[in-house]
Amino acid sequence: MTNVGFIGLGIMGGPMAGHLAAAGHVVAGYDLSTEAVDKLRSVGGRVAGSVADTVAGADVVITMLPNHPQVEQVALGAGGVLEVAKPDTLLIDMSTIRPETSVELAKVGAERGVRVLDAPVSGGEAGAKQAALSIMVGGEGGDFAAAKPLFDSLGTTVAHVGPHGAGQVVKAANQLVVGGTYGLVGEAIVLLEASGVDAATGLDVLAGGLAGSRILELKRESMVARRFEPGFRIDLHHKDMGIALAAARQAEVSLPLTGLVAQLVAAARAMGNGSLDHSALLTVTEQLSGR
């Protein structure tokens, strides 16, 4: 049994905190949204009134926040986790953020005696709800081993992928594959429909062959029906494509398809679809095709 402080109880963090409470851990949670904290209360967690209140008494603090400014505010800011946590606390940031912020968190954490892991996830809302996430972890091997039982309560594929920031680099690679796949599934739907072929039947066949993917498996019906409630918002995927392109520049490599997908995601956002699910990338292809 571990005392866990959980900050960020949204689409992903809410169900994740619920799984930890269900596994017998003592969970205190904090979020700016009252709706989010009400859900934690309903699954047996304690609602904390501030970051400091969440961290007090916690052996492990987990953050699941939108982007690096929120993580920096909550972890590095005045009264933040790294200032108020007791020595030897383990801070696990599971948000998707730029790798350099993860490295900075680990550096400041080391100065203050707090151990830090970056542990972003893949698997979406369904993966969070079913405790079936893929979790990619950067940091010290001993800290990964200490956190592994908690990760096993949240996910089915859990891997230590390298030093601080490596988890975020793996997540960036994940996001460019996911974005590219959505783009191409959208193009397949537009081609099938414009050619008078039933898209649902066509995609059923694709899903059973070499073109098959988790995205075709889980999202083909909702895409054909144009149901785009999130899920994972275009706004967040826009952030992630920026992280992937910045990581590519840092690594001095050329990723032309990633650049194109980033522009398509930016277009979806510019069209006013930022709050829709990322499968709404399909709407960009429709516009480009005059449909």
List Cα–Cα distances, 256 to 28, 141, 180, 260, in angstroms: 44, 34, 11, 6
Residue listed under structure tokens 């066949």: 205
Could you tell me which stretch among 82-90, 117-125, 140-148, 265-273 binds ligand NAD (CB under 6 A)?
A: 117-125
Could you tell me which stretch among 146-154, 230-238, 242-250, 282-290 binds ligand NAD (CB under 6 A)?
A: 230-238
Smallest separation (angstroms) from ligand NAD to the CB of 18:
13
Q: What are phi and psi of 7, to 5 degrees?
A: -115, 120
Alpha carbon distance 239, 68 (integer Å): 10
Contacts of 172 (CB under 8 A, 6+ apart): 99, 240, 243, 244, 247
- 126 and 148 in contact (C-beta within 8 Å)? no
Question: For ligand NAD, which is the closer residue by CB, 89 or 102?
Answer: 102
Among 8, 109, 139, 202, contact with ligand NAD (rule: CB under 6 A): 8
Alpha carbon distance 261, 136 (integer Å): 23
- Asked if the bond preceding 231 is cis, omega within 30° of 0, the reply is yes
Alpha carbon distance 46, 18 (integer Å): 11
**Residue 31 lies near ligand NAD (rule: CB under 6 A):** yes
**Residue 124 lies near ligand NAD (rule: CB under 6 A):** yes
Smallest separation (angstroms) from ligand NAD to the CB of 253:
23
User: Active-site residue among 39, 171, 219, 239?
Assistant: 171
Respond yes or no: is residue 239 known to be catalytic: no
**What is the Rg, in whole angstroms, of the alpha carbon atoms belonging to the chain?**
20
Among 5, 10, 15, 167, contact with ligand NAD (rule: CB under 6 A): 10
Among 32, 194, 205, 260, contact with ligand NAD (rule: CB under 6 A): 32
**Residue 7 lies near ligand NAD (rule: CB under 6 A):** yes
- Site residues for ligand NAD, window 232-261 (CB under 6 A)? 232, 236
For residue 133, what is the enclosing H or E element?
strand 133-138
Question: For ligand NAD, which is the closer residue by CB, 36 or 60?
Answer: 36
Q: What are phi and psi of 2, to 5 degrees?
A: -120, 145
Local structure of 12: helix, strand or coil? coil
**Residue 176 lies near ligand NAD (rule: CB under 6 A):** no
Smallest separation (angstroms) from ligand NAD to the CB of 22:
18
Residue 280: closest CA among 218, 217, 234, 212: 234
Among 28, 55, 116, 121, contact with ligand NAD (rule: CB under 6 A): 121
Cα 273 to chain center, whole Å? 19
Structure tokens that stand for 261 in this block: 């997908």
Under rule CB under 6 A, how many of the chain's residues touch ligand NAD?
A: 27
Could you tell me which stretch among 69-77, 78-86, 157-165, 216-224 binds ligand NAD (CB under 6 A)?
A: 69-77
Residue nearest to ligand NAD (CB): 10
Smallest separation (angstroms) from ligand NAD to the CB of 175:
8
Question: For ligand NAD, which is the closer residue by CB, 70 or 285?
Answer: 70
Structure tokens that stand for 175 in this block: 């996001």
Structure tokens that stand for 266 in this block: 């930016």
State the residues that interact with ligand NAD by CB under 6 A. Answer: 7-13, 30-33, 36, 64-66, 70, 73-74, 95-96, 121-122, 124-125, 231-232, 236
Name the residues annotated as catalytic. 171
